[in-house]
Structure 1
Amino acid sequence: MTTTLFGISNCDTIKKAKKWLEEHNIDYSFHDYRKQGIDAHWLAATESHLGWENLLNKRGTTFRQLPDEDKQSLDKEKALALLLAHPAMIKRPVLQYNDHYFLGFKADQYKDIFAL
């Protein structure tokens, strides 16, 4: 089984998710958006499972600092282009477990995912 956690290493929620996975002896790999980037294929696959509206973090600093014209009239195409250019705007973490995608971290949700 393949487990990959996607996010940014200095994010507090990522740190909590990593700690939970390690405490439960779940092997995973970590993909840091800032260091490793993302590609259009991964973003399209993730969006097809989670939806662009869920992936786009409108409350984060990166989104708030965008010019107003970038934030207005958002649709899937425009949002995906922004996420590709600014991966820090992707809500975190994204957990890919086999062919399933999950967004955010809650211990109870992870217990259900890994059937613990």
Structure 2
Amino acid sequence: MTIKAYLYDKCGTCRKAKQWLNQHNIAIEEIPIVDAPPTEDELRSMWQASGLPLTKFFNTSGQFYRELGLKDKLPSMTEDEMLKLLASNGKLLKRPLVSDGKTVTVGFKEEEYEKAWGGR
């Protein structure tokens, strides 16, 4: 299965993740997260496959997150509302977001990448 990597080219963390994947000869389909964010259904599948709380998919250090006051709003939002919001704006998504449909990583930590993608 193709590994989709949702990246933002101005993001240093995304560049580090892409470099790590390239160094390990892992082919990816690179998708610009701001121009083509995953759909609600794609996000729901990734979230469920990841085993992470849905709140971990939010870019909490992003300007848009702060402008919308999401720190205070997220606790009272439903999962459907959160997914709809994440799908509406790629800048709200923590990046890089990498998935092959079964395995999902959010953000970049070398040890997590080694565990998730190293044996390919």
After TM superposition, the structure 1 = structure 2 runs for residues 34-49 of structure 1, keeping only pairs within 5 Å, are 34-49=34-49
Name the structure 1 match of 2:88.
85
* Cα distance in 2 between the residues matched to 1:43 and 1:108: 23
**How much identity, in percent, do the aligned residues show?**
25
Which amino acid in the other structure matches residue 115 of structure 1?
G
Select the residue among 97, 104, 119 that pairs with 1:115. 119
Shift of 1:10: 1.5
Shift of 1:39: 1.4
After TM superposition, the structure 1 = structure 2 runs for residues 1-116 of structure 1, keeping only pairs within 5 Å, are 1-49=1-49, 50-66=52-68, 68=69, 71-72=72-73, 73-113=76-116, 114-115=118-119
TM-score by length of 2: 0.80
* Residues 69/45 of structure 1: CA separation in 2 closer, same or farther (3 Å cut): closer
Shift of 1:69: 8.2
Structure 2 unaligned regions, length at least 5 = none
State the superposition RMSD in angstroms: 2.2
Cα deviations by residue, 1:24-70 (Å, 9 ceiling, x for unpaired): 2111111112222321211111222333111122221111111x489
- The list of structure 1 runs, each at least 4 consecutive aligned residues, that deviate by more than 6 angstroms after superposition, is none
- How many aligned positions are there? 115
TM-score by length of 1: 0.82
